[in-house]
Structure 1
């Protein structure tokens, strides 16, 4: 590799070391309050994005409920498609004849995570509501409580916990090894992995997009000559490509979260 090409590749790194380029940092997820500063109700950018997303879902649901027509228009058909997807591809696929009972919960989790995730690629918002641990943790708690409550109602409290911790058909000495593992995996590790999976995907996606577009701005406006324009065009193309990929990941993670919710409920209400 020629020394000239090495200089081109290394130039952003050198400028970063000199303080010319500052990449995105973790502070983006913990911004200062924008409204009601100094009060218990102070709102920062992340909380405002979550409120906007929640309000958008409520408005869409209210319009759908109040103005639904026998022959749906494009907007109604789009909203019905999301509801039908959560009903058929998630609920009925895993819960079968018991899906109707748990469909409101599954649809709420699917739509909530979907729209919270998609705020990360919407101009003006550009940060997923699920990219800070609070929102993924709330969804996880709801899923976890649904798993336990559904199991207790369907199987009975004692029977539910016995089936989760002492799977039938296992020689009793094995329970000394299996029961602690089942307790950790079901009641400790499962909610942690559910939270971290969603959080990590949204955080990494935002950091990648921020790096691409901040790099594009820096290369276009702070570097002179054709080198800055050429490298900036590459980072711009990468940013557009990763935006499309992030939209796919946002939808995929909403589907996975709702599917795992239905799966956990199915495991809790079924006989082992």
Structure 2
């Protein structure tokens, strides 16, 4: 009878789901928490780099050193290594901004009281991917012309003519249409899944302690320990997703500027 009651109580637990990501507006307005966090992230990134270079010195302060190191990481390991020494300089501001903007928004999911990764909302991720899509296609069209760029992206070099009717539509679909979708989905799904897991273990642990009792007094704290472990893993994922998103942007820019596909 006791075990049956435990099962009934367990069935009443409502796990977190997509509805938990639909946050209400502030004071009944249409301004939501993700909107505020997007603006806050832009302010944080701007303030960090502005303050780090405001009083530049030959012997850098700790803040200046941090800013220069952050800038240098994206400049050297992403922009220069991927795009190449001839064209990379003009894209550094965009790539540096992109990386740290995504990183700060992702890290919001691990900061108490904020506790929401902005790009766990699909619309935010698709908007950012749309900006990237416009940029690298515009860069390619400017370099090669519209027809030349379309040929570059859809006609693989060295392929025999009889294969082109099959390959051209596939290349167009892959390089022009699918790229922004996969770019956004990768970021969105990782942020969504990680935050959902954190909510599940945190609320599940509390439910086990308060409602189940017995074995719940052991399983509940264990769930919280797992939540802490997942939180640290999530911070690594947050960094990696910012890095991968920026790296792929650099690769797309390099492909748009290249002379051969």
TM-score normalised by structure 2 residue count: 0.92
Contact preservation (8 Å) 1:29, 1:46: no
Q: 1:114 aligns with which of 103, 108, 114?
A: 103
**SS, match of residue 130 in structure 1:** helix
Using the alignment, how far apart are the partners of 1:235 and 1:22 within structure 2?
16
Contact preservation (8 Å) 2:53, 2:64: no
Structure 1 match to 2:89:
100
Structure 1 match to 2:127:
138
CA offset digits 1:43-96 (Å, max 9, x no partner): 122222222222211221221232333322333322322211111111111012
Q: How many residues align?
A: 258
Shift of 1:253: 0.4
Poorly superposed stretches of 4+, deviation over 6 Å: none
Structure 2 match to 1:163:
152
Contact preservation (8 Å) 2:109, 2:115: yes
Using the alignment, how far apart are the partners of 1:92 and 1:162 within structure 2?
26
Using the alignment, how far apart are the partners of 2:94 and 2:25 within structure 1?
32
List aligned pairs for 1:10-21, cutoff 5 A: 11=6, 14-17=8-11, 19=12, 21=13
Change (3 A) 1:69 1:214: farther
Structure 2 match to 1:229:
217
Structure 2 match to 1:239:
227
Using the alignment, how far apart are the partners of 1:154 and 1:70 within structure 2?
39
Contact preservation (8 Å) 1:209, 1:242: yes
1:82 aligned onto 2:70: yes
Using the alignment, how far apart are the partners of 1:210 and 1:34 within structure 2?
22
Contact preservation (8 Å) 1:90, 1:259: yes
Contact preservation (8 Å) 1:16, 1:22: no
Shift of 1:216: 2.1
Q: Which runs of 5+ in 2 are unaligned?
A: none
Structure 2 match to 1:62:
50
Using the alignment, how far apart are the partners of 2:51 and 2:166 within structure 1?
54
Contact preservation (8 Å) 2:52, 2:66: no
Using the alignment, how far apart are the partners of 1:67 and 1:232 within structure 2?
50
Using the alignment, how far apart are the partners of 2:132 and 2:42 within structure 1?
18
RMSD of Structure 2 on Structure 1 (CA): 2.0
Using the alignment, how far apart are the partners of 1:59 and 1:222 within structure 2?
46
Using the alignment, how far apart are the partners of 2:106 and 2:70 within structure 1?
15
Change (3 A) 1:32 1:169: same
Shift of 1:200: 0.4
Shift of 1:14: 4.3
Bigger Cα displacement from structure 2, 81-90 vs 62-71: 62-71
Using the alignment, how far apart are the partners of 1:75 and 1:215 within structure 2?
41
Structure 2 match to 1:191:
180
1:253 aligned onto 2:255: no
**SS, match of residue 228 in structure 2:** helix
